[in-house]
């Protein structure tokens, strides 16, 4: 989704400038175009060569070339940008931004920018806490600039506290939000994700290999498009970096069912990406089961099918999306499933190739809609698959609204 996006990174004099190398790498990997403008003191912390090699563009730092006098047109650079990210933003630069000072090229670009401007402060904890800095941040927010909050942790001074620049992945998430069209503004979405755990006794459970990555990617994409998202999440270590997602943690299929049913009422969209256990133990032992006989038989009973239930209560304007994972006859089973569960479409996952499916970064899917039309996609990053899914959801939301 960052492919072809034009991003200007403004680097100021802070030790966190070294993290900009990683930020540029991530952006370039996603095929964004990157140009860098710096304040004069930035080069004490990161070399112009590092920045130009990684961004594949010359670095802008002076108003003109001292050798031949060529003018570095800051207005052109500012107008070129789809997003301008000032990272790290030192206390000094924050102050200049808040007051409109223009004594270096970065500031001239800032004052000329018409695109969204993001700023990621980096400084020592007391500088960060100082009322002057806090007032500057408030002022920048009031200008409509987007604040990328710093993290807490060890600082260059040896002190520990708030002031570390946000990690490059977090900054990229803020950039993604800025460049995504707000096609779902005012809509509410429910996503479930991850595995469920069905207790056998206090220490054992029946689970599955779902990581929750795909569901989180969908929740993030829905949020980027402006939807208010509730993520009902089974046990997973994964965290979402995207702002604007309310997360409800659950463990069992029954808990997931209860939460989803409750949230679905007020939703326009529901995506059931969780790998819900199909069966759960009839009885969960109160105490740990001791080993005795050679064989142990567990009696299991079917769980409630959340997707099928939502399909029965779904209103005419609500969009319901299910998932399916098959090892054979995938399309045929998915066609049967989309009708039986009354979904608008089913995302059929592939588990056929290595590096695809559980825990992987990439996925290969087919969409099967309720007219039994099949749309097949190439292997892609899960974030790209999520964008395809949300694009399809937006189409259906639009067509249902027009009816
Ligand atoms: N699902 C659900 N509640 C369950 C089981 C599954 O909501 N108790 C949802 C999943 O979240 C997913 C879809 O149903 O969206 C998967 O359907 P399912 O019938 O479980 O299919 P598979 O797991 O692919 O396989 P099978 O048909 O063998 O059950």
49 and 149 together in one domain: yes
Bin 371: left if φ > 0, else alpha if -120 < ψ < 50, else beta. alpha
Candidates 337, 351, 358, 367: which one to mutate for ligand 1, based on the most atoms within 8 Å of Cβ?
337
Q: Which among 176, 174, 256 is positioned nearest to 215, based on CA atoms?
A: 256
Q: Is the CB of 324 inside a 6 Å radius of any atom of ligand 1?
A: yes
pLDDT of 295: 92
pLDDT of 145: 97
Residue 338 to residue 343: CA distance in whole angstroms: 5
Where is the domain boundary, 154, 179, 204?
Answer: 179
Residue 172 to residue 152: CA distance in whole angstroms: 19
199 and 286 together in one domain: yes
Q: Is the CB of 323 inside a 6 Å radius of any atom of ligand 1?
A: yes
Query: Closest ligand 1 atom, CA of 310?
Result: 7
pLDDT of 72: 86
Q: Is the CB of 305 inside a 6 Å radius of any atom of ligand 1?
A: yes
Tell me if 1 is assigned to some domain: no
pLDDT of 354: 47
The domain containing residue 381 runs over which residues?
A: 188-402
| Higher-pLDDT residue of 184, 352 | 184
Query: Closest ligand 1 atom, CA of 323?
Result: 15
226 and 330 together in one domain: yes
Q: Is the pLDDT of residue 188 over 60?
A: yes
110 and 248 together in one domain: no
Task: Read off the pLDDT of each residue in 282-287 and give the average, rounded to a whole number.
Answer: 95
Map 271-288 to HEC letters. Answer: EECCECCCEEECCCCCCC
Q: Is the CB of 347 inside a 6 Å radius of any atom of ligand 1?
A: no
Candidates 274, 331, 348: which one to mutate for ligand 1, based on the most atoms within 8 Å of Cβ?
274
What is the value of pTM for the model shown? Answer: 0.84
Q: Is the pLDDT of residue 337 over 70?
A: yes
Number of structural domains found in the chain: 2
pLDDT of 205: 98
DSSP state of 373: -
Candidates 323, 344, 346: which one to mutate for ligand 1, based on the most atoms within 8 Å of Cβ?
323
Residue 300 to residue 184: CA distance in whole angstroms: 41
Tell me the CATH number at 331.
Answer: 3.40.50.10300
pLDDT of 244: 80
Tell me if 280 is assigned to some domain: yes
Residue 29 to residue 383: CA distance in whole angstroms: 13
Q: What is the pLDDT of residues 241-282, one digit of tens each?
A: 777 899 999 999 999 999 999 999 999 999 999 999 999 999
Query: Closest ligand 1 atom, CA of 303?
Result: 8
Residue 76 to residue 90: CA distance in whole angstroms: 24
192 flagged as catalytic: no
Residue 344 to residue 317: CA distance in whole angstroms: 11
Q: Is the CB of 270 inside a 6 Å radius of any atom of ligand 1?
A: no
Catalytic residue among 57, 72, 73, 208: 208
Tell me if 99 is assigned to some domain: yes
């Amino acid at each position: 989704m960052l492919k072809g996006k034009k991003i200007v990174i403004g680097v100021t004099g802070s030790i966190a400038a070294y993290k900009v190398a990683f930020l540029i790498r991530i952006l370039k990997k996603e095929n964004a175009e990157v140009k860098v403008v710096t304040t004069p003191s930035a080069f004490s912390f990161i070399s112009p060569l590092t920045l130009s090699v990684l961004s594949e563009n010359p670095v802008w730092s002076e108003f003109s070339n001292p050798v031949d006098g060529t003018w570095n047109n800051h207005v052109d650079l500012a107008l070129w940008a789809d997003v301008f990210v000032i990272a790290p933003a030192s206390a000094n630069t924050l102050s200049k931004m808040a007051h409109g000072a223009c004594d270096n090229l970065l500031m001239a670009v800032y004052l000329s920018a018409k695109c969204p401007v993001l700023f990621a402060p980096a400084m020592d904890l007391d500088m960060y806490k100082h009322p002057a800095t806090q007032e500057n941040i408030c002022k920048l927010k009031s200008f409509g600039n987007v604040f990328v909050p710093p993290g807490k942790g060890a600082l260059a001074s040896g002190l520990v506290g708030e002031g570390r620049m946000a990690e490059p992945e977090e900054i990229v998430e803020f950039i993604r939000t800025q460049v995504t069209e707000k096609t779902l503004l005012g809509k509410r979405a429910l996503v479930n994700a991850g595995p469920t755990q069905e207790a056998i006794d206090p220490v054992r459970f029946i689970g599955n290999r779902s990581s929750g990555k795909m569901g989180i990617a969908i929740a993030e994409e829905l949020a980027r498009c402006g939807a208010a998202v509730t993520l009902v999440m089974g046990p997973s270590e994964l965290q979402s970096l995207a702002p604007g997602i309310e997360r409800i943690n659950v463990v069992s299929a029954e808990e997931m069912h209860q939460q989803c049913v409750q949230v679905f009422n007020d939703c326009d969209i529901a995506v059931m990406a969780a790998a819900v256990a199909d069966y759960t133990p009839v009885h969960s032992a109160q105490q740990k089961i001791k080993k005795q006989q050679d064989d142990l038989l567990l009696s299991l009973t079917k769980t409630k099918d959340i997707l099928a239930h939502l399909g029965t209560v779904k209103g005419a304007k609500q969009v319901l999306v299910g998932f399916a994972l098959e090892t054979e006859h995938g399309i045929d089973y998915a066609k049967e499933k989309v009708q039986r569960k009354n979904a608008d479409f089913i995302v059929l996952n592939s588990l056929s190739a290595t590096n695809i499916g559980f825990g992987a970064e990439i996925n290969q899917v087919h969409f099967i809609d309720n007219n039994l039309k099949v749309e097949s996609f190439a292997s892609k990053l899960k974030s790209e698959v999520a964008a395809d899914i949300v694009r399809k959801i937006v189409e259906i939301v639009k067509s249902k609204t027009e009816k």
